[in-house]
Structure 1
């Protein structure tokens, strides 16, 4: 009897500390680290005395670094091993996260500190993605990458919520200190990863076959539209905390709003899978684009921080559905042999050009007007993109029967 209990106990422990659960934990804490600092980065810059368009310039650095440095990290990972590079990026990102708040208030020193931090922070999640794809591609495993990536959403929300609760006592620098803690917890779980064969290239950016893909006019129109959507979404992705401060929100309310934003994504991972079986990726994209226009408009007409918490429930429609449908749409538009290139273009337009231009343009507008007005302008821009998408994306797609 005792032997049976001991045996069951060992089985239970082995399940808890299984490779699959270690990957789940890595996604939770890896995204929690991101959730601590990313939503608050522009507010932190403003707190450091950076104003107007200079916020956009410095805030764009991580996204520029991602595009330039990520391929280099990929080549390094192919040579030294993804796991080793993942460990290095986690340790250095945690160390630099602790040092970044010590940066002096000058614009050049803040830009330099942000650059160094971004060099090691930006490859953390792409390398985790690549390690996870290696793990889930194993023919003996039944779990999918999507099942593990799902855990990033509550992780991001936990990081944002906890940071929001701690800021009143410890200040906005808490975002980076807490991020360092979560990065080191991610490192500890990564130490428990089993050995996987490298099945997926670590370098995510591959522009082979670019000329062939660029002949697809519908794809080019879509990439242009997704870049404009990203530019407008930058106002909510990177300036939401500044807007909340502008309308009188406490740091606790800000943390709750960002937490709700993260948790609202969870059901839409399942909704997206269901919708893709029932209708086309183009139809889902159009719903998400109009949803984004509505979300930005609602920001522009409210002065109540509590209302913003409700608005954040739209994040599942305006981001989760948008991104999953965008990935699927690109896969439909390019030949199987060029899908890596197609996805690279999507990342470049949304997370690269869109995020960089969005940060700069939003900060330029914020220099001249309140964030509420910036949201109103962006809402109108997205509404126009949505109307255009009806005559481009939807016209070319066949709607499946419900």
Structure 2
């Protein structure tokens, strides 16, 4: 299988799994009779395990040079452990199965991101955004399809759909190219020096706050909509609008990076996030919800493209897997984990409108760090006499 085809297939099926899991799994838990705090705790398990697990695998991949083998093994284990959910219905059983699944899934995407960016660098005709957008297409297809199906079939279809998508992801992983050669032995020293640099502290801090602010959306957007009387197909349609907007941005992301630069694009993504959650806090109707979902193109699409590009261009080749997994650990581990956990505790007391206002405030704090990162990196570039900022 050609590298580009294998990578697009991997993104398509892995995000198809997430396109079912993220919008509908919490509804599955709600229908099992779980309380909001139990749902919040279970939903927080995957991001919480991303705090340490991806960084460990990233260091292992950089030091051993066996990134591809680690990806294949983790994908296979993901399929097997998610299948455990088919046999449990109690809170304790679901929590235990989720811990096992989340542990092996946590490092997969950041390891593949490192390989994708290296492959794009190696084959100049490839564009990261146009490879990665197939993940968004898979997400859309799965979300929309499952939304329609759930109006007619049992919610057990959620589990079977995710399981099938992960099995296809594992098959695609066998075609992913091996990592580029890099030096071994100096990774730990270089990592320590990297983490002492002010601009990286600002960057990773901003990424953490961005995903912390997204906690309300990922954890309770679907539940809030169902509480307002939206059908499963309508909920799926709203999620789909967000990802369609994301696909549109991904398609043109190469031009955005070349014209704007990665660091300025990061700032723009935070401005969009603040606007999006502020509008959501005002409890808009269907048309307003559609507008806020279009902002997903920037609050997630532009943010993610800018973040992984900054890491790839700023981190030495011997630490690329580590840099991407550290981003995953801090943003999607600490940030998302705390966001989901806090939302699980506060949802009943605050309600969705107040929680989205909280998300807007958190994103505003992240925007301050992102602006500071842009200022610091621009100043350092001028001092070094470099031609341009990260782009």
* TM surpasses 0.5: yes
Deviation at 1:317, TM superposition (A): 0.7
**Distance verdict in 2 for CA 1:116–1:332, change over 3 Å:** closer
What do the CA deviations read for 1:365-390 (whole angstroms, capped 9, x no partner)? 21312112100222133234435654
**Distance verdict in 2 for CA 1:180–1:353, change over 3 Å:** same
Aligned to 2:198: 217
Mark the runs of 5 or more structure 2 residues left unpaired by the alignment: 380-387
Are 2:62 and 2:320, in contact at CA under 8 Å, matched by a contact in 1?
A: no
Aligned to 1:386: 367
Aligned to 2:18: 34
Structure-1 separation of matches of 2:74 and 2:243 = 24
What aligned pairs does 1:81-100 form with structure 2 within 5 A after superposition?
A: 86-100=71-85
Residue aligned with 1:358, SS: helix
**Distance verdict in 2 for CA 1:130–1:279, change over 3 Å:** closer
Structure-2 separation of matches of 1:98 and 1:128 = 23
**Distance verdict in 2 for CA 1:67–1:30, change over 3 Å:** same
Q: Residue 234 in 1 paired to residue 234 in 2?
A: no
Deviation at 1:251, TM superposition (A): 0.4
Aligned to 1:12: none
**Distance verdict in 2 for CA 1:208–1:364, change over 3 Å:** farther
Q: Between Structure 1 and Structure 2, how many residues are aligned?
A: 377
Deviation at 1:207, TM superposition (A): 5.4
Structure-1 separation of matches of 2:325 and 2:368 = 26
> What is the TM-score when the length of structure 1 is the normalising length?
0.79
Deviation at 1:321, TM superposition (A): 0.7
- Superposed CA RMSD: 3.5
Q: Which of 14, 33, 38 is residue 54 of structure 1 equivalent to?
A: 38
Structure-1 separation of matches of 2:210 and 2:108 = 25
The structure showing larger relative contact order (alpha-carbon pairs under 8 Å, at least 6 residues apart) is 2
Structure-2 separation of matches of 1:334 and 1:86 = 21
Are 2:54 and 2:326, in contact at CA under 8 Å, matched by a contact in 1?
A: no
> What is the TM-score when the length of structure 2 is the normalising length?
0.81
**Distance verdict in 2 for CA 1:132–1:42, change over 3 Å:** same
Structure-2 separation of matches of 1:290 and 1:129 = 25
Deviation at 1:295, TM superposition (A): 0.8
Aligned to 1:182: 165
What do the CA deviations read for 1:262-309 (whole angstroms, capped 9, x no partner)? 221122124432233223433222221111011111212135245323
Structure-2 separation of matches of 1:24 and 1:328 = 18
What aligned pairs does 1:237-386 form with structure 2 within 5 A after superposition?
A: 237-330=218-311, 341-386=322-367
Residue aligned with 2:21, SS: helix
